[in-house]
Amino acid sequence: MQAFDRAILADLNIFLTIVRRGSMAQAAIELGVTTSALSHRLRKLEAQLGVRLLNRTSRSITPTQAGAALADQIGGGFQAISDALRTLERHRASPMGRLRLNVLRDAARLVLGPVLPRYTAAFPDMHLDVTVDDHLVDIVAQGFDAGIRYGDRVPQDMVGVALTRPLQWVVVGAPALIARTGRPRVPDDLLGLPCVQMRIGDNSRVPWELGNGAAMIRADIRGPLTANETEHAVDAAIRAVGFAYCLERRVSGELASGALELVLPEWASEGPPFTLYYPSRRQTPGGLRSLIDLIREAEGLPRLARPGEG
């Protein structure tokens, strides 16, 4: 049985090109080599296979019976390879395929959701498969292409790309609650007031970090309710159950409408940005790169530099 040599594939492709062209000269032009080089490679292939593949005269080239059978059998395989390479070219030219993301609830609402109309319109061959989950998961083990978390929660062995500027965390309360309890003036005032606590994906409580730098205070708040998602915490705050600590941009609409009021604004705290992370810097999928660019553009940030760009 003939041992398979990967180098033989190139020679078989040469053979198929000669058969298709019916001319050594035309095949040489298509492949970008000299006629003598082509003739040498063909003789080498015939010697390796131990079978004459082409009948050659000064006027014509025709496959032998064995050559015709070989061309017929391997032609479909090379066509399949050609089709697959063209599909890859389409991937490079315009994103296509499926992109699986694992995303924080707040990130899904605040940074991913707003760009979805533009993304789906610009890349109709892309399918986003989004899992909204506040638990920190192993995206590789779970089959995700990328995740979105706060920058300080991204695993160190991952490539992280900031999608936003640093995020502002604030304390808010409903007008009815403020009327009932009074407006807190300093962080210590919160210790005696009802507050809605938040529990994150690893079941630890979200610390109320008030202020920045050396002046930052971690308030050990208490209250009648602990929620594991922002939606429930904000809803409870609107219903005057307690003061809530959350992203300022998450409650921008409620603040504008008056459903919530900002308290202790001078104690707002700056936190890490939403960050997209993925396993490798090599060959970032086009669909993922385009999504990053759209989000960063919406956030007023520059797009990522492409390989070869300054």
Residue 102: name the closest of 126, 127, 135 by CA.
135
pLDDT (tens digit per residue) in 115-144: 999 999 999 989 999 999 988 889 999 999
Handedness of CA 177, 180, 184, 187 (dihedral sign): negative
* Higher-pLDDT residue of 298, 77: 298
Residue 45 vs residue 184, higher pLDDT: 184
**Nearest-angstrom CA–CA distance, 104 and 100:** 14
Determine the average pLDDT of the residues in 166-185: 97
| Side chain identity at residue 206, one-letter code | V
Owner of token pair 């309890």: 181
pLDDT tier, 1 (very low <50, low <70, confident <90, very high otherwise): very low
> Among residues of the chain, what percentage have pLDDT more than 70?
89
pLDDT tens per residue across span 242-284: 999 999 999 999 999 999 999 999 999 999 999 999 997 666 7
**Direct distance between the N- and C-terminal alpha carbons of the chain, in angstroms, rounded to an integer:** 53
* pLDDT, position 57: 72
Lowest mean pLDDT among 22-31, 74-83, 199-208, 215-224: 74-83
Does 66 have pLDDT greater than 60? Answer: yes
pLDDT at 310 over 50: no
Contact 147, 277 (CB under 8 A): yes
> % helix / strand / coil in the chain, to the nearest 5?
45, 20, 35
pLDDT tens figures, 199-239: 876 777 888 999 998 889 998 898 999 998 899 999 999 99
Confirm if 41 and 9 have CB atoms less than 8 A apart: no
Structural domains for the chain: 8-93 (1.10.10.10), 97-165+273-298 (3.40.190.10), 167-271 (3.40.190.290)
CA distance 220 to 172: 16
Cα separation, 235 vs 46, in Å, equals: 78
**pLDDT at residue 41 in the model:** 84
